[in-house]
A and B are shown apart, each in its own frame.
Chain A
């Protein structure tokens, strides 16, 4: 857990916490995989992958509910305090951030299936690919942060998030200019996909910030993710 010390006086308890942390990392990996799957479906017009992404979300949801239930039970039965309490409360938020990211990936797949694929002009396609890659990289980094309980990563991820925001901003501008060519409806939908990627990157930053809180008891520079979350 957050720390190990002395003998294993509460080995059973520590195992329970560790199972939750490892479960959250697994859940994150599933969501990461699904984000990449949905991105590939989007960029390659692979409807089969889009369908697979949609289906994969069921397992993600099941795992999410199961992990959250376990944390409730630990709170009720073990009455954790201090670092253990911070872990239990914050991990439920981390789980939520992960699960929401999974839903956003599914949204990408759903849009694609509704349209039977998008025909993106090359410059839009290029920016979209960068946005997808940026979001996935950030999400990967956030899951690594959780696996290692790395309190220092949040600042780095926050900077990387600015780059994703810039790419998506550029994407909006390009889509806006091309809306006559690609059609208004498609322009709106592609903008939304960009927005989903930007949000996945935001969730990744939040996860890293929760990890900082779990480890140190404070958010980076006392900035609470909940406050700036919806930016």
Chain B
């Protein structure tokens, strides 16, 4: 399955970048190649040196909304084929950090980022990097399932079509739905509207849609908070399967969820020491097993045991 996907993926990656880049500026082209090349060199070298398995290297990240410092000096590394959970109370900056990873914060005009976020060694906030190209490698799943008002089939086919995919679309749709463990439930109604699915199914459809363009990373922003407990466990099980092929970063308010599924956990909190401003800071980042049995910071312990929050 892995090999099959890789060849399929390579094909539509190549097809995706060529026509799109043709129409764009030269600098866009150059940067697209460098982000794409970084991802490809990773595939070749995967499992080699230790450095190779770092997907995101975040260093001294500051994020501002206008004058307001939302996240201060966060540094962490996100590893390949792992699930990294970002937890912390409201306003701690975890979602802001997540949205930096695919440059979603660009959509907010006043947002400004300092420090560096290297994706396979390439600074995604570097000069001339095209955020659209970044997002081609990094998929996103949101809190509320948000399928397009289209058929199940078209929801999956949408991204690959835009990216210029010209291969076997039926095969790609089926494969993506299978990977999201949804195919068997929808195979007889692929042309039905996606909105007719249950919440849990819609969220798995959104995951299928995110992986249809063969990303390297899937970001999830509280993907289960609108779902019932069984649908939640289904998504968690799916995440554990997907991490064989993808790197997953999840923001969750559900600490048990972070404890159940993630390999590493980053705990953020709100720092009020800057003149009453609520600034998000990274308190502790470690193996999830350690965070939930023997965290080194009292603030982490207070939060995960429910004494503070």
Contact = CB atoms under 8 A, between A and B. Distances in A.
B309 A82 contact: no
Contacts, number: 45
Interface stretch (B45-53, B143-151, B183-191, B298-306): B298-306
Interface string B244-279: 000000000001100100000000000000000000
Interface stretch (A3-11, A171-179, A185-193): A3-11
Q: Interface size class for chain A?
A: 10 to 19
Given A79-B256, A217-B293, A217-B294, A84 B308 contact: no
A82 B294 contact: yes
A82 B307 contact: no
Interface string A215-230: 0011000000000000
B305 A6 contact: no
A81 interface: yes
A3 B301 contact: yes
A83 B301 contact: yes
B308 A82 contact: no
A85 B301 contact: no
A80 interface: yes
A203 interface: no
A interface SS class: loop
B259 A81 contact: yes
A6 B302 contact: yes
Contacts of A3: 298, 301, 307
A13 interface: yes
A210 interface: no
B309 A81 contact: no
A21 interface: no
Nearest to A217: B294
Interface string A198-220: 00000000000000000001100
A86 B294 contact: yes
Contacts of A81: 255, 259, 292-293, 304-305
B209 to A, nearest CB: 33
Contacts of B302: 5-6
B295 interface: yes
B67 to A, nearest CB: 30
Given A81-B293, A82-B293, A86-B293, A6 B301 contact: no
B293 A10 contact: no
Question: Which 7 residue pairs spanning A and B have beta carbons closest together?
Answer: A217-B294, A81-B292, A10-B306, A82-B301, A6-B308, A5-B307, A81-B304
Given A6-B308, A81-B292, A85-B292, 9 more contacts: A4-B307, A9-B308, A9-B309, A10-B307, A79-B256, A81-B304, A82-B301, A84-B305, A86-B293
7 contacts: A5-B307, A6-B307, A10-B305, A13-B306, A81-B292, A82-B293, A82-B300
Interface of B: 255-256, 259, 292-295, 298, 300-302, 304-309
Interface of A: 3-6, 9-10, 13, 79-86, 217-218
